[in-house]
Amino acid sequence: MSIQSQSSRTLFNAATITATTNFTFMSDKDSNLPTWLPCKADEIVVQCCTATLTASTMSVRIEGRFPASNRTAEIYGYTVTTADSIDRLINVTERLAEIRVGAKVANSASVPNVFYSSIVLSEKK
């Protein structure tokens, strides 16, 4: 199969994460962005990077919703204890209606905690 079209969207661009109880999602950092992104695509890849980590840990979670449900499900999650030296690419294999990426840290008083995340949606033929 070859790629017919691709679209990408930056979710977090050097965002300082300070949430400790709930995850910070893209709409929390930029009021012009929605909380959920439509993601009807043949292939979904999420790119994440913790460029600076002053807190003891940063947790990242990718969540999704199926077309017939409004319920949120965790697709993938991980926790880092030191800043990543390279971005992670996470392939999302589920057929979802919507997707979002969130991050939180263990100690909001420890800043900066810099996070990057993007999503690439590909249509194949």
Write out the two tokens for 81. Answer: 């204890």
CA terminus-to-terminus distance, the chain: 6
Provide the pLDDT confidence category of residue 118 given band limits of 50, 70 and 90: very high
Average pLDDT over residues 101-117: 91
Q: Could you tell me the residue range of the domain that residue 27 belongs to?
A: 3-124
**CATH number of the domain bearing residue 120:** 2.60.120
Count of domains observed in the chain:
1
Q: What is the pTM of this model?
A: 0.88
